[in-house]
Structure 1
């Protein structure tokens, strides 16, 4: 399998691997036949109260499929959830304590993948004799983003000791949690053409839970997702000539807005999958850049676009398509 050459300008710590398709397992969380699943990416941990932490991660794809996820606090396994779930609340923790969490996937054949990167969360100080719940989140609103996601926002709650987190409910089920300073989120992994009802509740350090906000009814678009709501935006493409005379295609874009970190992109060249791009460390949230080898001839035109693998494990929509020509003068 030939490896893609990257531009010298690409940060060394940013990129784990970029390989010509068909994709191979290289820390992407994607497994080939007979191989254990990869390590979960996009793992985050945030305090939900003085005694709990909310852990989330991106879905892992594997053959024949993911059976369970195991969640570790330090070296101790503290939770195990079905493969269809990508978040969990770890409870019975100590206040004012830093905890380290990792996640690993087990496929339906029993193969156990490697641990994810470590993430840390500090529980806040416990507040003695606090029996006062936060106020109800105000003026919730939302909109559907295509057929598989919605965006929600709400007014901040107040509390005599401070709001630590907000819990998002879909009907009666808690589906997500964000930090107390956050008043908006994106919920992904929904079904096309389906009516949902979302509410938000605030939580303080003593685990007091506010009344639910007013319900926000939303219906996802029918049919397949057109992807416009979760596609990379402000996509730009150009070419440059390297020191050895070969040409490279230079891309830049703004990652889609999602809950969780987007770590993987698929680049299409002339209508076909060409390169899989996977970030390690801290993936960019504002503007991403990448360069890849395009051959040694001048005057060759290419059409290029890309899409992101969303935190729920599905592919988002494609960016706008750009046409570049090797050796063309810069605008």
Structure 2
């Protein structure tokens, strides 16, 4: 864990970070047609308490050497294992429902399945098989042009419809990568110029860009950023840390504030929190791979003066890169005055 000080100015809510948030992406061709992909649904019920088999598994070539695999979420799992044939080729956290399988052979047919793993390390059954064939390889040093005329409109409070004008390439565009903030959240075929991203939160501001990719894996510059706020409101209770407790402690002539809380129940572990002191951001803490799931704690410097009362609250950065709701605010006083 590292402690990163933040400026006093109010933060701009970030948009997508690692691991992407629970989303379901759907392709459009002429009219809007939703198809299963990185989605919310649940897997088939497992036997004997094992995780269910992921449903809605799809595979699509992203270039001559990559295939994009997607699936629906399975409740209560820790990780997903992606298989090519009988071998595991990738394992990802529960917050991810998509992955790019790389270093494949051009002009080759592949079959993929996905299995869910629970907190006890038990693997559920294989999903149904999804197949994809990579296109021919070509010697090509020219990247496609950037997609233009990118537009977005809300499709309800939890979804956004994106459209764009096709990019140009001397050998042809194989796929388009959709980025939410700085994170790739989906890939669609080169013949598509529209998609729907779901699993978003109401009343939240998002930004999207689109990039084109050719068979040689050359990637275009990003399109212009398109921004919008989903309609409705989100009171933040479902994504807020709970059971926040704050206490003052004196050490070496100075006061520190000790915090403990229960992390919000979201897909995957929460790895970043922001602490607000007296209504302003005071510090940020970032965990590595050992982010706490049941109980978190943190201490920070609060000055040398006794009898000062502070208000403190925290919030978590979610898997989709946006900030969750604030915890309840607590008051804490730096020891007895005098």
Q: Which residue of structure 1 lines up, in the alignment, with residue 199 of structure 2?
A: 189
Q: Deviations over 1:270-321 (max 9, x none)?
A: xxxxxxxxxxxxxxxxxxxxxxxxxxxxxxxxxxxxxxxxxxxxxxxxxxxx
The equivalent of 1:202 in structure 2 is 212
Cα distance change on mapping 1:66 and 1:98 into 2, 3 Å: same
Q: Which of 91, 111, 116 is residue 122 of structure 2 equivalent to?
A: 111
State the TM-score, normalized to the length of structure 2.
0.55
1:36 aligns with 2:87: no
Structure 1 contact 162–204 (Cα < 8 Å) conserved:
yes
1:32, distance to aligned residue in structure 2 (A): 7.6
CA contact (8 A) 2:158 2:198 kept: yes
Q: Where does residue 315 of structure 2 map in the other structure? A: none
Aligned ranges 1:43-62 → 2 under 5 Å: 43-61=57-75
Shift of 1:148: 1.4
Residues 147 and 224 in structure 1, CA contact (< 8 A), matched pair in contact too: no
Cα gap change, 1:79 to 1:174, in 2 (>3 Å)? same
Change (3 A) 1:47 1:113: same
1:98-153: CA deviation from partner (whole Å, max 9, x where unpaired) = 0110001111232211000111101111002x100001111010111222111101
SS in structure 2 at match of 1:124? coil
Matches within 5 A, 1:1-331: 29-31=43-45, 35-61=49-75, 65-128=76-139, 130-223=140-233
TM-score of the two chains, using structure 1 as the length reference: 0.57
Query: Distance in 1 between the 2:195 and 2:119 partners?
Result: 31
Structure 1 gaps, min length 5: 1-27, 226-331
Q: In the TM superposition, what is the alpha-carbon distance from 1:30 to its structure 2 partner? A: 4.8
The structural deviation recorded for 1:204 is 0.1
Q: Which residue of 1 aligns with 2:319?
A: none
CA distance in 2, matches of 1:50, 1:105: 28
Whole-angstrom CA distance in 2 between matches of 1:102 and 1:52? 16
Q: After TM superposition, give the deviation of residue 207 of structure 1 in Å.
A: 0.3
Aligned residues: 195
Work out the CA distance in 2 between the residues paired with 1:154 and 1:137. 6
